Amino acid sequence: MSSYKNIAVLTARKAGILLKNKLGQRRKVAYKGAVNLVTEMDLLAEKVIVSIISRHYPNHNILAEEKTTRQRNSPFRWIIDPLDGTTNYAHGYPTFCVSIALEKEGKIILGVVYDPMRDELFLAERKKGARLNGKKIHVSSTSKLSLSLLATGFPYDLRESRVNNFDHFHNFALRVHAVRRAGSAALDLCYVAAGRFDGFWEMKLGPWDLAAGSLMVREAGGKFTDFSGKSLGLDGQRVLASNGKIHREMIEVLKMGRI
């Protein structure tokens, strides 16, 4: 595991520093949907990450958000989001990250999320806990939803679909201290793991959004399920993460909306 961890950390840092150094420059922006952006930096960061991983592990499978899918006869699969927070990045808003996870036989065993603007590296290893810049982290102890700070995001098809999370946002906003919408699901999950957020919910996410962050939450002592509380893999249609103590209350609020 140590070699996988070292390569994942090295690669995330290299891609993150590249992104940081190019932040604020004029971007070439393409659209995958009305509000779903991709920049040349997504593609460049992905190329850097895939190149390093392929050089060290040429027989491993790869699933990356933008272009790279590689199938080999291997129990290992790298799941990569080269730039989580593309819309933020395209506007020069400094909240984004690189997310890299390693899956073995269907289970996430390693997760690395790097925020280059704050030089914060989140790391989780299956059954070994979660860490932030080398120090162990744990979910918050907030025991009541009314005292909580939550995070969420909105799906890219929010203009076309009535299942767009506005109902849940309204319902939670009336029942908690506050709800934040930062624009990076991977960072939101890491913040739940670190106790900065007490809970997180979102809809219609991709596996690259969740792979590293889901392990982070679980290894930090939190819960990661669907909206009904059932065990969840990388199906991002209805994602709920929390410190565990407010999980049931969050499920009850989610039942009030369109799920």
- The domain spanning residue 205 has which CATH number? 3.40.190.80
pLDDT of residue 127: 96
* Average pLDDT score over the chain: 92
The answer on 25 and 118 residing in a single domain is yes
Q: How far apart are CA 117 and CA 134, in angstroms?
A: 17
Backbone angles phi, psi at 227, to 5 degrees: -65, -20
Q: Is the pLDDT of residue 40 over 70?
A: yes
The answer on 152 and 108 residing in a single domain is no
pLDDT band at 28 (very low <50, low <70, confident <90, very high): low
Residue 159 lies in a domain: yes
Q: What is the CATH number of the domain that holds 130?
A: 3.30.540.10
Biggest distance spanned by C-alpha atoms of the chain: 51
The answer on 109 and 30 residing in a single domain is yes
The answer on 237 and 215 residing in a single domain is yes
pLDDT band at 84 (very low <50, low <70, confident <90, very high): very high
pLDDT of residue 259: 64
pLDDT band at 245 (very low <50, low <70, confident <90, very high): very high
Last residue of a domain, one of 111, 136, 161: 136
pLDDT of residue 215: 98
- List pLDDT tens digits, range 186-197: 999 999 999 999
What strand order describes the sheet that includes 199-205? 178-180, 149-152, 199-205, 236-242, 223-225
Last residue of a domain, one of 116, 136, 156: 136
Q: How far apart are CA 217 and CA 61, in angstroms?
A: 24
Q: Which two tokens stand for residue 208?
A: 């690259």
The answer on 91 and 151 residing in a single domain is no
pLDDT of residue 37: 55
Q: How far apart are CA 109 and CA 119, in angstroms?
A: 23
Put residue 36 in one of left, alpha, beta given phi > 0 → left and psi -120 to 50 → alpha: beta
Q: How far apart are CA 143 and CA 113, in angstroms?
A: 27
The answer on 156 and 117 residing in a single domain is no
Q: Which is higher by pLDDT, 41 or 167? A: 167
Q: How far apart are CA 193 and CA 196, in angstroms?
A: 8
Q: Is the pLDDT of residue 33 over 90?
A: no
Q: Is the pLDDT of residue 34 over 90?
A: no
Q: Which of the residue ranges 13-17, 116-120, 230-234, 248-252 would you say has the lowest mean pLDDT?
A: 230-234
Domain range holding 170?
145-254
List strand residue ranges (DSSP E) for the chain, in order. Answer: 29-31, 37-39, 61-64, 69-70, 76-84, 97-104, 107-115, 120-125, 129-132, 135-136, 149-152, 178-180, 199-205, 223-225, 236-242
Last residue of a domain, one of 136, 162, 193: 136
The answer on 125 and 200 residing in a single domain is no
pTM listed for this prediction: 0.94
Residue 194 lies in a domain: yes
The answer on 187 and 105 residing in a single domain is no
pLDDT band at 86 (very low <50, low <70, confident <90, very high): very high
The answer on 60 and 14 residing in a single domain is yes
Residue 212 lies in a domain: yes
Q: What is the DSSP string of 162-198?
A: S-SSHHHHHHHHTTSSEEE--S-HHHHHHHHHTTS-S
Q: Is the pLDDT of residue 36 over 70?
A: no
**Averaged over 98-118, what is the pLDDT?**
97
The answer on 132 and 6 residing in a single domain is yes
8 A C-beta contact, residue 168 and residue 153: no
| Distance of alpha carbon 76 from the chain centroid | 20
**Averaged over 98-123, what is the pLDDT?**
98
Stated as kind and residue range, the H or E segment containing 106 is: none
The answer on 193 and 127 residing in a single domain is no
**What residue has token string 């929010």?**
158
Q: Is the pLDDT of residue 123 over 60?
A: yes
Residue 259 lies in a domain: no
pLDDT of residue 156: 73
- List pLDDT tens digits, range 67-78: 667 788 899 999
Q: Please give the share of the chain, as a percent, with pLDDT higher than 90.
A: 80
Provide the domain count of the chain.
2
**Averaged over 25-41, what is the pLDDT?**
64
Residue 6 lies in a domain: yes
The answer on 72 and 10 residing in a single domain is yes
pLDDT of residue 70: 77
Q: How far apart are CA 182 and CA 191, in angstroms?
A: 11
